[in-house]
Chain A
């Protein structure tokens, strides 16, 4: 985390762009910008600024947005729920769709079902999120009028259905790549396990196909699948930036993009630290989850 903090701060210091110029507006003069820079402390040396930021960070203070004057923690707090809801919804849809698809494809390897699942996977990988999002909006929002075009409702703000319907299209758009990834990985992992002797033994003992697939094969194929789900969450967060922009969802992704475009340094730094913390936690959780699926693994 400390390395990330130093890296992000240095990168922003070197990146062209000046928030004072953005604040001042198009009609401002160089003199105006200079005064605003001084007021924001942006004309101070690198070490002074970095030291101040680290000191505040150690006291739990991520700083204040240069533009809105709102604390970065407040801005992040406003955006956590939409991103969390979108990510969880996507994760749920993806796992519920992708794992069965992968298992079925593996069980019927070489059949038309298998080929159809693999074709879907290639399509899912190839189709950019924003293109698929526009297609979904065009069909389900504009032509059929079933679901909203954009926006997000906080949980409890309106009805439960109103909250959910704002998440359906974004989750499907964002989840396609993820479904493709997990389905492929599940299929590959299952094929590997299905070739094992103990599966043959289970089948020879007369166990039905479903208990063999779910009870014996899937459980033993779970570790690579869990790994890819963990890695996929990183994909989800980067994909959420595009999805949130297209569907006008006020999540962390859009906060990041807006902050970068305006050079709102405290917000960029705060969000990057948050992302790196999330990655660390997810990796830890994935590593710990291995113990659940394989009792031989101990830390």
Chain B
């Protein structure tokens, strides 16, 4: 061999070996690789209700209060709270040692600014703000809430577990317009986001916040000690479910937050993987109507569908296996204190198509086009849309599905025009269990017309009953008032619940300490 060629070959081998042997400095770190349910795009948990942003919020922020697994409100950042006898004044004192990721201490001013911003976007926050006279800082560690009138849900509001969660941010960030996204993820939570390593659409990196002082109590939902047992968490977004399953199987990921039911058999074959339902509340599917135009501006048409919807079909359509869901004949999440089957007779039991057809006839339906807007990239929405189309056809209605993607659906559902001008009649979606536990957070139930959720129902009666629920003085009164709201809902039919389902989670056997909760919390997790 030519001498020059031999020297070149030797140099190539040496360079390759050098590169191959070069290893990163942080190889000894405990890294939890987590496949989240969606891609994190927006960092502001107040500007959006997206669940992935809420979950990011739980990583980097902390809350004043939090709800435990028994639906009890527990102090989190707050050390103690004093309530005046007239229930008009709450004085909060913060725990010692709370610090933001930039090293600044958490002060009363930060908490007040954060709650103020949250109160401008969140429905329950707005309700609290309506009753609020003032928030004042007594000193850096103590602040006071003064109410105009008693608001029994004040602490529950501050412990709201799902979107929008009243996370505490530094005052300088919390002063941002609530309709504008914040860019700085500085919080005081158990993890710190490494923004420089964030690749939207691919990965989000969090490291343990070594300054975080966890509470002493055991972790229970979002309350208790948020003890971080790994050094680094990598959220790896994998858009293709089959590839996510393969990555978990191959050990390239430790935990897959939410998996489609059809992949359960594939993963349960692997003895190193646990497939589990860790969400005690699941999610609720729903069919939403457009109340502005025929035929669903007529209550009889909506009532007719109550007699035809078979929740069992929807649960199987969404969750694949009856084990992953169940019918829920309530406007509140089944398994929570206010859920009941009061007035649910039209929705449960054997389906009565004859009764449905009779109501349709009584409604004076004249064959108007019914447009179901569908998002084929969202399996939960798509399955419901197809089932509803089939049901409407069986009822002899002039129905059609207009398919698009989720981005198109959420734009189109804001159109108030009739179907001939690009409007719609029905769309489907779902909410996580905590978003439907009571009349305060259950926003689709509301009847505030133009200000209501898409579909824009107007129902002053349900609003009055909801208001009465807010004023309920004890648990029994609260249950009674909530039942009255549900009774009215089954008459007015703001939407039809299509069942309760759970999307299981899957993790490898080297992971322990997974918290049973409606949200995948990443503290308390140990990796062997």
A: residues with CB less than 8 A from B are 16-18, 21-33, 35-36, 39, 65, 67-70, 75, 78-79, 134, 137-138, 141-142, 145, 148-151, 157-161, 245-248, 250, 254-255, 258, 261-263
Contact = CB atoms under 8 A, between A and B. Distances in A.
Interface in B389-421: 404-408, 410-412, 414, 416
Interface string B366-382: 00000000000100000
A240 B414 CA distance: 35
A133 B53 CA distance: 31
A22 B242 contact: no
A22 B43 CA distance: 14
B48 A23 contact: yes
A29 B452 contact: yes
Given A18-B414, A39-B179, A261-B405, A245 B240 contact: yes
Contacts of B414: 18, 21, 30, 33
Contacts of B410: 18, 21-22, 26
A159 B21 CA distance: 6
Given A30-B450, A261-B407, A262-B41, A65 B200 contact: yes
B19 interface: yes
A67 to B, nearest CB: 4
Nearest to A161: B20
A27 B49 contact: yes
Task: Give the interface residue-count category, chain B.
Answer: 35 or more
26 contacts: A23-B181, A24-B47, A24-B48, A26-B49, A27-B435, A30-B414, A30-B416, A31-B450, A33-B414, A69-B43, A69-B183, A75-B200, A79-B199, A137-B243, A137-B246, A138-B246, A142-B249, A148-B252, A157-B24, A159-B20, A160-B22, A245-B240, A248-B202, A248-B240, A254-B202, A263-B411
Given A68-B200, A150-B246, A17 B41 contact: no
Interface stretch (B221-229, B231-239, B333-341): B231-239
Contacts of A160: 16, 19-20, 22
Given A17-B411, A254-B201, A261-B377, 10 more contacts: A26-B50, A30-B414, A68-B41, A69-B43, A141-B246, A142-B250, A149-B246, A149-B250, A248-B238, A254-B239
In this complex, which of B47, B249, B408, B411 has the most chain A Cβ atoms within 10 angstroms of its Cβ?
A: B411
Contacts of A70: 200
B463 to A, nearest CB: 15
Contacts of B41: 67-68, 262
Contacts of A68: 41-43, 200
Contacts of A248: 202, 236-240, 243, 247
Interface string B439-459: 000010000001111101000
